[in-house]
Amino acid sequence: MRIALASDHAAVDMRLAVAEHLVAQGHVVEDLGADPGQRVDYPDYAAAVAGAVIAGGCDRGILLCGSGIGMSIAANKFAGIRAALVHDATTARLCKEHNDANVLCLGARTTGPLIALDCVDAWLAASFDTRHQHRLDLITKIED
């Protein structure tokens, strides 16, 4: 799977750990930054990952910031993006099964590194349950 990955300055270390974890599993990672030591604005990085997913260059995206909240708000401004802020493997699995989340958001200041990797694994292993398609269709109508 090809995964777009980005963070702001608060989550660089966690992003690098997630990237290493994904590559070790055989995924292709499109690391869109930010560079270590660089203070940045998270909406720019949310836009980059959303764009990569919408354009089809990446299958899914992962965004990280201090809390994950800002990234999830910014990413969800893009039609076709369903970004979910998760805090454990259960919410990560459910966001894919129930909401077909195509962008996972994590907070480096709120989620420990091992839990974050568990979230990534649960989200990647989960599949969308089509019983929930009607609700996604309603979301799409809102976007239109």
Catalytic residue among 21, 27, 87, 98: 98
Taking the C-alpha atoms of residue 120 and residue 44, their distance in angstroms, rounded to an integer, is: 22
Taking the C-alpha atoms of residue 72 and residue 132, their distance in angstroms, rounded to an integer, is: 21
98 is catalytic: yes
87 is catalytic: no
Taking the C-alpha atoms of residue 80 and residue 54, their distance in angstroms, rounded to an integer, is: 7
Alpha-carbon distances of 81 from 32, 73, 104, 114, 143, rounded to whole Å: 17, 11, 10, 26, 10
> Do the beta carbons of residue 86 and residue 95 sit within 8 Å?
yes
Catalytic residue among 58, 65, 95, 105: 65
> Do the beta carbons of residue 49 and residue 32 sit within 8 Å?
yes
Active-site residue list: 65, 98
